[in-house]
Structure 1
Amino acid sequence: MNLPGKIRTGRRLAGQLARTPSELRNVPRTVRSQGTPLDVGLPWLAFVVIDRLDEIVGPESSVFEFGGGGSTVWFAERARQVTSIEHDPEWAALLEERFAATPNVDVRHVAAAGGSYDEYVASVESFPDDSLDVVLVDGRSRVRCALAAMPKVRPGGFLVLDDSQRKYYGPAHEALAPWPHETLQGMAPYKFDFGVTTFWRRPAEGD
């Protein structure tokens, strides 16, 4: 990043912290997290989001993620089963090598053949309806991935969309409107900037 870019980033961060002073406590966590996601082992999500995931992911959880990396490392240490879908062949190869001896992680390379993400989006369809505790949408074609994943989330489970503030993710917000939700934002690992993520909880019987 050139100097003007660094100045703009610094000003934006200063404004974000001024509006959300509670996030000052997470600045040291950002400083400590500098490195590659596979080495650091943290999702590329705001720390408040990671803390929330830590509350809902446990030893019996089945997790599906569109887009692998530090999140895969993190989920692997906590969940019963993690399925990670990755479109980039080089990154997928690194993930496959990293988790080759990790029995609870299934890394699947799903290429964007001809620039189409149809197979990538459809990868979640191999799971039964109502079977996944957490679906993290943090890769490509996020609106389509979120819509495809909705019936796969168990009642009481969560669908999590990163960068949910982007206006072109509006159709996902509309489709998920009947589900209770919370949007969290704050300092994140690897970068001196805020991340924004929305959790939707699929209503369970009796809610």
Structure 2
Amino acid sequence: MQLVKRSYAGVMHKIADLGPMERLAEEAQQSDEYGWLRWAASLLAIHDIERMIALGLPWWNVAATRDVAQFLRTRPNARVFEYGAGASTIWLARHAAHVTSVEHHAEWHHRLSREVARFQNIALHHCELDGDAYIGAIDETGAPFDLIVVDGRRRTECLARAIPHLAPGGIILLDDSGRSRYRRAIENCGLKERRHFGRSYCVPYPDFTSILHA
């Protein structure tokens, strides 16, 4: 499956480098964030952090992205914690007062560090995946969070660890929530679920992202 994904991404990148597609990407940057043009451009930016940042998009379900943006507009001083860094980290920094993000992959963390350096409201940390360092990183922050994003590895454990750190009225975003291995954790976590299914950035098929709240 990983080979298929890499091959697909490679094809999309070659198409993205064509002149007409580069113009599409430029036009998409000025289009509706949740519209079809921006979504179409995101298909060519799969696994391309620079293109995704230029488009100003996270790799989530489109409707869930709108849901989170609307929530953050009601909380101008919002604090965010994120498991699994990427283009979403930049998107969150543009919508929230402060973002703490943890990433397990050392090479990806190093690459992303160059991108987040210009954002004073991002704290990006590398945590080893083994043991408790990664899932327990949220325990070291000392503050409740208005939004917690669970979009990295060990998601069921991260979800359980995140809940006590949720601020009153806060929400948790869990991406790829249609996967069977996450369903039991979501259903037993004690939170209510708004489950979004449909267009998702970067992929040509509909996918799930869930918003969990008290």
1:178-197 matches, within 5 Å, as: 178-197=190-209
Aligned to 2:68: 53
Q: Which of 143, 161, 170 in structure 2 is aligned with 1:157?
A: 170
TM-score when scaled to structure 1? 0.78
Percentage of identical aligned residues: 29
Q: Contact 2:178–2:207 (CA<8 Å) still a contact in 1?
A: no
**2:102, 2:118 → 1: CA distance?**
18
Amino acid at match of 1:120: Y
Q: Is this contact kept in 2: 1:121–1:141, CA < 8 A?
A: yes
| TM-score of the aligned structures, taking structure 2 as reference length | 0.76
Q: What does residue 13 of structure 1 align with?
A: none
Structure 2, unpaired ranges of 5+: 9-33
Structure 1 residue 181 displacement after superposition: 1.8
Secondary structure at 2:100's aligned position in 1? strand
Partner of 1:30: 39
Measured on the aligned residues, the alpha-carbon RMSD in Å equals 2.1
Using the TM superposition, give the Cα deviation of residue 155 of structure 1 relative to its aligned residue in structure 2, in angstroms. Answer: 1.6
Q: 1:90 corresponds to which residue?
A: 107
1:102–1:29: structure 2 CA closer, same or farther, 3 Å change rule? closer
Equivalenced residues, count: 177
- Residues in 2 aligned to 1:52 and 1:184: alpha-carbon distance in whole angstroms: 9
Corresponding residue of 1:16: none
Distance 1:135 1:157, change over 3 A: same
User: What runs of 5+ residues in structure 1 fail to find an aligned partner?
Assistant: 7-24, 203-207
Aligned-partner Cα distance in 2 for 1:174–1:191: 26
What's 1:67 paired with?
84
Question: Does structure 1 conserve the Cα–Cα contact (< 8 Å) formed by 2:82 and 2:102?
Answer: yes
Indicate the structure whose relative CO is greater, using CA pairs within 8 Å and at least 6 residues apart. Answer: 1
